[in-house]
């Protein structure tokens, strides 16, 4: 892909003096403020101008009160999903949610009872298994298989061997956080076959669906077949794609009427309501105007990943970089450093001056790994590379 350079990702606004989570929590999480934070999954890249302009325009009206999510906002997302990902939802399928994790928790309540089993495929984003446990459901771990080439795939035979009549829900991460896989249609069809056979509902977290690198293609789980649509609850949104997490807006798409009614019983009891007026206009602007910005962003992100890949290839005995197909989260195999998980975290904090997410937090299968968010400006990425390079060179000399 050729970068037309209409958007500048060389620098980004400083977040040091804001309440940005990744900066505000440094002392608490890493024991020091003297780290460059590359952990939590939002971008140190400016939210696009067309989103901010839409918010500024709305602020010309002096009343910010209760408002419904406009139908036009949902329709803009529906059109985006059809055009970009080949899946068709209707207006009736769509519900507002302030976050994918909130939607996941509602789905756990709606489609299972205490003591039921819920499938989680580790290593995975921690709320997947925390949510199951907090709702007093049984965690059914179906770990991903780590192949010799460093990539991951589903372990279908393990999944089949563990399912019983108490298994009610599968939490799918697609594209996958943290291992960076964009699941192929054939892989998803294997999951679908198992779930259809055992009457298992699929909650499909597709929040990273727009952040996929060619030639990979995101396949929405609900797009696999009519049968897939009938068992799928899809969580999607603009938060990751356009760096809009602070707007606290996403959606849940549930085409099956019966599943939607079951979900709504929980949804209405919690009172999700309709969110922020300013979020509505930001959400709609992103889907209507964001295509070109996103294309250029992905070029930038992959350049950052390539820089990290080049560095890791200098130290293959220490760190191997997991091949990436989607997301902006690099999964670093650091087992060659021969450090325990606590010491590995300390190496990055105290030797490299970097605040990463510890792999062990994604499940036992993440032991010896670290997750690095490379959705940062070019200048900041150069800083990350320099810090890690110096730390690894020092390690070589010992």
pLDDT tens digits, one per residue of 275-294: 999 999 999 999 999 999 99
Name the token pair of 345.
Answer: 């975290």
Task: Based on the fold, state whether residues 251 and 382 are members of the same structural domain.
Answer: no
Angstrom distance (rounded) from CA 313 to CA 260: 48
The secondary structure of 280-332, three-state, reads HHHHHHHHHHCHHHHHHHHHHHHHHHHHHHHHHHHCCCCCEECCCCECCEEEE
Which pLDDT belongs to residue 46? 97
Do residues 91 and 209 share a domain? yes
On whether residue 10 sits in a domain, the answer given is no
> Total domain count for the chain?
2
Tell me if 251 is assigned to some domain: yes
Residue 1: per-residue pLDDT: 36
Residue 124 lies in a domain: yes
Same domain, 218 and 346: no
Q: Note the pLDDT of residue 92.
A: 98
- Same domain membership, residue 59 and residue 42: no
| Domain-located, residue 99 | yes
Q: Which of 273, 289, 305 is the last residue of a domain?
A: 289
Question: Does residue 255 sit in the same domain as residue 318?
Answer: no
Same domain, 251 and 334: no
The residue among 240, 273, 289 that closes a domain is 289
213 assigned to some structural domain: yes
Residue 14 lies in a domain: no
Residues 245 and 191 in one domain: yes
In the prediction, which pLDDT does 397 show? 82
Q: Does residue 34 sit in the same domain as residue 56?
A: no
**Is residue 303 a part of any domain in this protein?**
yes
Residues of the chain scoring pLDDT < 50: 1-5
Residue where a domain stops, chosen among 237, 269, 289: 289
Task: Tell whether 276 and 353 lie within a shared domain.
Answer: no
The verdict on 221 and 349 lying in the same domain is no
Q: Is residue 144 situated within a structural domain?
A: yes
Which domain, by its residues, includes 166? 52-289
Q: Are residues 28 and 89 in the same domain?
A: no
* 168 and 303 inside one domain: no
| pLDDT for residue 242 | 98
Q: What phi-psi label fits residue 146: left (phi over 0), alpha (psi between -120 and 50 degrees) or beta?
A: beta
pLDDT of residue 117: 98
For residue 122, what is the domain's CATH number? Answer: 3.40.640.10
For residue 349, give the CATH number of its domain: 3.90.1150.10
pLDDT tens track for 202-234: 999 999 999 999 999 999 999 999 999 999 999
**pTM above the 0.85 mark?**
yes
């Amino acid at each position: 892909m050729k970068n037309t350079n209409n958007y500048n990702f060389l620098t980004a606004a400083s977040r040091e003096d804001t309440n940005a989570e990744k900066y505000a929590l440094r002392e608490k999480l890493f024991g020091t403020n003297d780290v460059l934070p590359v952990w939590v999954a939002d971008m140190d890249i400016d939210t696009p101008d067309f989103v901010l302009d839409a918010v500024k325009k709305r602020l010309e009206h002096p009343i910010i009160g209760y408002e419904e999510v406009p139908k036009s906002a949902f329709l803009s997302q529906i059109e985006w999903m059809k055009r970009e990902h080949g899946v068709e939802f209707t207006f009736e399928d769509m519900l507002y949610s302030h976050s994918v994790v909130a939607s996941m928790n509602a789905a756990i309540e709606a489609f299972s009872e205490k003591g039921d089993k819920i499938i989680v495929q580790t290593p995975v984003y921690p709320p997947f298994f925390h949510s199951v446990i907090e709702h007093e459901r049984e965690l059914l771990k179906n770990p991903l298989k780590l192949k010799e080439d460093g990539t991951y795939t589903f372990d279908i035979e393990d999944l089949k061997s563990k399912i019983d009549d108490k298994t009610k829900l599968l939490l799918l991460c697609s594209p996958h956080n943290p291992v960076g896989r964009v699941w192929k249609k054939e892989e998803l069809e294997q999951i679908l076959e198992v779930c259809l056979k055992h009457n298992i509902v699929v909650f499909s977290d597709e929040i990273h669906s727009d952040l996929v690198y060619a030639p990979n293609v995101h396949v929405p789980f609900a797009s696999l077949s009519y049968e897939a649509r009938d068992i799928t609850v899809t969580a999607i949104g603009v938060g990751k794609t356009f760096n809009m997490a602070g707007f606290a807006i996403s959606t849940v798409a549930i085409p099956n009427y019966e599943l939607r009614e079951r979900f709504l019983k929980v949804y209405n009891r919690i009172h999700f309501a309709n969110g922020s007026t300013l979020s509505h206009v930001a959400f709609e602007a992103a889907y209507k105007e964001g295509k070109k910005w996103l294309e250029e962003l992905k070029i930038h992100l992959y350049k950052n990943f390539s820089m990290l890949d080049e560095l890791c290839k200098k130290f293959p005995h220490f760190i191997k970089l997991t091949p990436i197909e989607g997301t902006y989260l690099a999964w670093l195999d650091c087992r060659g450093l021969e450090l325990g998980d606590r010491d590995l975290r300390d190496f990055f904090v105290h030797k490299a001056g970097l605040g990463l997410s510890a792999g062990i937090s994604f499940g036992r299968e993440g032991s010896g790994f670290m997750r690095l968010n490379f959705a940062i400006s070019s200048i900041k990425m150069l800083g990350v590379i320099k810090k890690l390079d110096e730390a690894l060179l020092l390690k070589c000399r010992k």
